[in-house]
Structure formats: structure tokens, C-alpha cells
Amino acid sequence: VRCTNSVYCSENGVTAVITDQASSDNTDFILGKHAFSRMAQTTDAAASLLALGAFIFLSVSSVACSYPDKNITIKIDESSNNPYYLAFVIWYQQGRRDIIVMQLCETQNFVCKFLDRSHGAVWTTTSPPSGPLSLRMLFSDEEEGEETWVVPINNIPGDWKAGETYD
């Protein structure tokens, strides 16, 4: 993401992880103070950028996500309540692909259930299967026109807890 206001902004942009997209073409980026500061020419310019907030123009380009030495990680949302409700986000998704379908599967008999995309990058289900669970994720690469199913090596334990992360 790069600010196009030459009065306040340097030519350097910042790399941001996009966690949600709207169905319309009216796009907003909610950037933190640190991102605005890194795009500014000076500290004073950073304060001016923050004051302008939503009224700056941005140039956006897509780059592949890279998290060296990281596996896909599942962060169980605090709203989850085993065994009644499961919500989680995916961390450290590599590359330029989007997850378009998510399934939660019992590892013993591989009965799978489609998950709902609740908001942002949060996937949810009521009445999740019991026991150790595996995920099946369908990745889409719009540039290549390909779709690929990916199954992480490690399972979510049957006694998963809200707030925990699983690699």
C-alpha cells in the first residue's frame, strides 16, 4: 500500500495483510498509526497523514504473503465454546491464493462439514464434530485460474480451547 499524496508521503509503501474483502468495489483500508508513519516523509508529515485519515489516496498492488519458517496456524476465537461452537482464523497463509472453501473433518472417519465465513478471516460452525479434527481448505489462484485442496499435516486436538493456537 502506497500513499500517493506527494506533499506528505514518501515513495515507499508498506506491506499490509488483507484479512477481509467486501463484495463491492468500494474499498477501504483500515491502517494503523505505524503504517501511516512508515509511509510519511517525516515525523511531522506522519502526524498530518494521521489527521487526514480516510481522506488520502492509496495505490495498491498485490504481493505474495511470505512467512519464513511458519506453518499455517489456526487461532481459536475467544467466542468458541467446545463442543457447541467453533470459530477460528488462519494465520501465516503463504502465497497469493485465497481460501474460498473450508471443511472441518473428523480424523477417524473423515466425515466433513462445510464451514461458514463469518466475517473477515473468521470461519465458524455450530456443533463441530468431536474428537481430533482436520481441515480441508480450497485455495483459489485467480491469476493462474487454479483451485487446489490443501490439508494441513497437524490436527486440531479434540479438547481444543478458546484462545489457543494450533500449528
pLDDT (0 to 100) of residue 53: 66
Return the number of other C-beta atoms located less than 10 Å from residue 155's C-beta.
17
pLDDT, one tens digit per residue, over 41-68 is 998 988 888 887 656 677 777 788 888 9
* C-alpha count within 13 angstroms, C-beta hemisphere, residue 123: 20
Mean pLDDT within 77-97:
93
CB 120 within 8 A of CB 88: no
The residue written with cell numbers 495483510 in the block is: 17
Distance of alpha carbon 94 from alpha carbon 64, whole angstroms: 7
- Considering the entire predicted model, what is its pTM? 0.72
pLDDT (0 to 100) of residue 55: 61
For 73-166, CATH number? Answer: 2.60.40.760
pLDDT, one tens digit per residue, over 129-166 is 999 999 999 999 877 789 999 999 999 999 999 999 99
E strand or H helix that includes residue 40: none
CB 16 within 8 A of CB 29: yes
Q: Is the pLDDT of residue 21 over 70?
A: no
pLDDT (0 to 100) of residue 134: 96
pLDDT, one tens digit per residue, over 97-131 is 889 999 999 999 889 999 999 887 899 999 999 99
User: Is 9 buried (19+), middle (13-18) or exposed (0-12) by CB count in 10 A?
Assistant: buried
Q: Where are the domains of the chain?
A: 2-59, 73-166
- 104, 141, 35, 49 alpha-carbon torsion, rounded to 10°: -120
pLDDT (0 to 100) of residue 156: 97
Mean pLDDT within 13-31:
71
